[in-house]
């Protein structure tokens, strides 16, 4: 995995989250979205044939908790290795769930955000995955949910 600059959770929600939706893979990345915009975001992704996953991070306070939540809610296959390399592998290969693109919504991330070191490390992995999909011309977006619906 190529090291990337540390990326915090975006400070403000995307002004127009639906503007990130198209078949344009250059919009791959990590965003923040308000809960009120979530239904429209899910509908837009569905209309484009993109898979939408919501990951409940309510009990994720560190990297192991994040990995557990990702495995559960992204429905990783049983052979998931429960480490950052395995997370990178699975985020860059959704062969068990083919789709025209991928949207991952990270809900209830407050406890994880209170752990800046873990959050920075995880965002590096997420950013690397987004870049990998962008290079393959496949839309891949991650949204931190702000203000739960």
Domains of the chain: 31-146 (3.30.370.10)
For residue 147, what pLDDT is reported? 77
Strands annotated E in the chain: 29-34, 51-56, 102-107, 140-146
Is 89's pLDDT higher than 50? Answer: yes
Instruction: Encode pLDDT of 46-79 as tens digits.
Output: 988 999 999 999 999 999 999 999 999 999 999 9
What pTM value is reported for the model? 0.85
């Amino acid at each position: 995995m190529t090291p990337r600059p540390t990326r915090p959770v975006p400070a403000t929600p995307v002004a127009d989250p639906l503007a990130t939706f198209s078949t344009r893979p250059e919009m791959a990345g990590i965003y923040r979205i308000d809960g009120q915009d979530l239904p429209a975001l899910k509908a837009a992704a569905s209309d484009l044939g993109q898979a939408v996953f919501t990951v409940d991070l309510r009990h994720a306070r560190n990297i192991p908790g994040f990995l557990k939540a990702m495995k559960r809610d992204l429905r990783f296959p049983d052979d998931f290795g429960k480490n950052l390399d395995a997370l990178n592998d699975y985020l860059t290969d959704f062969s068990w769930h083919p789709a025209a693109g991928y949207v991952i919504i990270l809900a209830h991330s407050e406890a994880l955000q209170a752990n800046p070191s873990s959050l920075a490390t995880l965002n590096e992995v997420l950013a690397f995955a987004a870049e990998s999909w962008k290079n393959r011309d496949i839309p891949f977006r991650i949204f931190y949910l702000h203000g739960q619906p």
